[in-house]
Amino acid sequence: MGSYVCSSRPGYNVSASDEKKCDGNNCDDEINECTNDPCNPTGTTPDGCEDLPHGYKCSCKDGFSGHDCEVANTGDGCKLTADYCSVKGLCKNGGTCKLVFSGYKCHCADGFQGDECETPVKGCSGVTCKNGGTCISSGGHNYCECPVDKEGHDCDRGETPVAPLLIHTVTLLHLPVSLQV
């Protein structure tokens, strides 16, 4: 009686719990690759992922392509990376996500820095207050305290001047007048 060494083909696992004997070189159990959600959720139709005998296939929405529907097609031969900003919580601590050609960039809220706004700014490092403003660090946020005649996030604008009151001094001269009749 011969024995076999079982190996797994791509898209399959050798099942350690399987009691069956190997028949030839095949002892494989099919893997469902779709259980790991390999398709980009932004570019995939509701049908999403289809498990195939040796892999998977993503069903892309109109305007998306690529094996995992990861390429957003904008027309005229231009392609952008998929909408990373649709992923919730990508930019931390109140940061906002902006798409750029190479992917995304987080614009951090005051008091935070880093690629995903994950690092609190220590003190007033990185904050520049203009026109004699003073940086104040409080509760994880930094802000500029501006001089009386300045305003704005970093004291970069002058306050709108209030129209000065015009005071005219009128001097009355009392000159003697004589009337002749």
Q: Could you say which architecture CATH assigns to the domain 121-156? A: Ribbon (2.10)
Please check whether residue 129 is in contact with residue 146, taking contact to mean a CB–CB distance below 8 angstroms: yes
User: Is 162 or 90 the better-scoring residue by pLDDT?
Assistant: 90
User: Does the reported pTM lie above 0.75?
Assistant: no
- Is-same-fold flag (32-82; 121-156)? yes
Listed by start position, the domains of the chain span: 1-30, 32-82, 121-156
Q: Write the pLDDT tens digit of every residue in 115-128.
A: 888 888 777 777 78
Pick among 3.40.50.2000, 3.30.70.260, 2.60.120.280, 2.10.25.10: CATH of 32-82? 2.10.25.10
- Residue 16 CB burial class (10 angstroms; 0-12, 13-18, ≥19): exposed
Q: How confident is the model at residue 130 (pLDDT cuts 50, 70, 90)?
A: very high
Q: Write the pLDDT tens digit of every residue in 23-68.
A: 445 555 667 888 877 887 776 777 788 888 878 888 888 777 788 8
